[in-house]
């Protein structure tokens, strides 16, 4: 464990996919990871995997659209971290279950659900964690590289992830005076179990459009998040780091 932290690290959407990879990556750096997800069994499984790998983890159930649930998860993380949360990774999102639909035909309830989880969620989780964040704490919000290119028939997803970038900039301004950094990571198409479920050619999708001619692996995103949650990025805030193998430059 190369890096030992005083507080806890809260990762939402930790039941699988990138969230699980984040939990394992933080644990390898010595963080006590609080694996949070609405899928309680999946979060517990991630915590167990972390423990089996020699790390420290606890699981909590959280509904990021519910204020009380977010506050309970934040308090649980703070209790584990002796009153402090070192890092918050707002990863919970609706992605694989969205049906591509022309914007005129998107169901209003689905629009509200996507916005509730993908955009309201990071706001609520960060607000709940705010009392336990201090100088040197980090907030990392997961956006998406599709924000910069658009994606037809995915208006609610792209709009929600665009909002995450705006939220990140505002939070950086408001939390900066307390010595807290807030940044976003915008992954390109990444090979998680959710992505494999979206299409048959996941391993080759978009590879020809990138500068680096390979598919994005979860480890590529984990490295970016770990950087933004560490001391080497202490003077970086309000920024969006695109991790897509050079498909687009901003």
From CA 197, how far away is CA 96, in angstroms rounded?
Answer: 8
Catalytic site residue from 95, 157, 196, 205 = 157
CB atoms within 10 A of CB 111: 17
CB 151 within 8 A of CB 157: yes
Q: Would you state the structure tokens that stand for residue 238, as one six-digit string?
A: 């309000």
CB atoms within 10 A of CB 153: 14
Helices H / strands E in the chain, number of each: 8, 7
From CA 89, how far away is CA 73, in angstroms rounded?
Answer: 13
Q: Would you state the structure tokens that stand for residue 233, as one six-digit string?
A: 């990025």
Q: Would you state the structure tokens that stand for residue 229, as one six-digit string?
A: 């949650």
Q: Would you state the structure tokens that stand for residue 246, as one six-digit string?
A: 């050079």
Q: Would you state the structure tokens that stand for residue 83, as one six-digit string?
A: 């009153």
Q: Would you state the structure tokens that stand for residue 209, as one six-digit string?
A: 């459009």
- The answer to whether 157 is a known catalytic residue is yes
- Please name the residues in contact with 127: beta carbons below 8 A apart, sequence gap of 6 or more: 70
Residues labelled as active-site residues: 157
């Amino acid at each position: 464990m190369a890096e030992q932290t005083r507080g806890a690290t809260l990762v939402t959407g930790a039941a699988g996919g990138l969230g699980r990879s984040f939990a394992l990556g933080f644990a390898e750096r010595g963080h006590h990871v609080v694996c949070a997800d609405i899928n309680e069994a999946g979060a517990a499984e991630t915590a167990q995997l972390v423990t089996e790998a020699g790390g420290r983890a606890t699981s909590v159930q959280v509904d990021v659209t519910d204020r009380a649930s977010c506050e309970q998860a934040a308090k649980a993380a703070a209790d584990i971290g002796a009153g402090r949360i070192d890092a918050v990774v707002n990863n919970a999102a609706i992605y694989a279950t969205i049906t591509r639909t022309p914007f005129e035909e998107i169901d209003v309830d689905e629009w509200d659900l996507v916005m509730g989880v993908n955009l309201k969620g990071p706001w609520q989780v960060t607000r709940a964690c705010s009392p336990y964040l201090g100088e040197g704490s980090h907030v990392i919000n997961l956006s998406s590289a599709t924000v910069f290119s658009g994606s037809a028939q995915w208006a609610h997803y792209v709009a929600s992830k665009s909002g995450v970038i705006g939220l990140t900039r505002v939070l950086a301004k408001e939390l900066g005076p307390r010595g807290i950094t807030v940044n976003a990571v915008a992954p390109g198409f990444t090979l998680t179990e959710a992505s494999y479920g979206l299409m048959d050619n996941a391993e080759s999708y978009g590879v020809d459009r990138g500068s680096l001619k390979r598919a994005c692996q979860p480890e590529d995103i984990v490295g970016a998040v770990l950087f933004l949650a560490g001391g080497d990025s202490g003077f970086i805030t309000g920024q969006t780091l695109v991790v897509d193998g050079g498909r687009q430059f901003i």
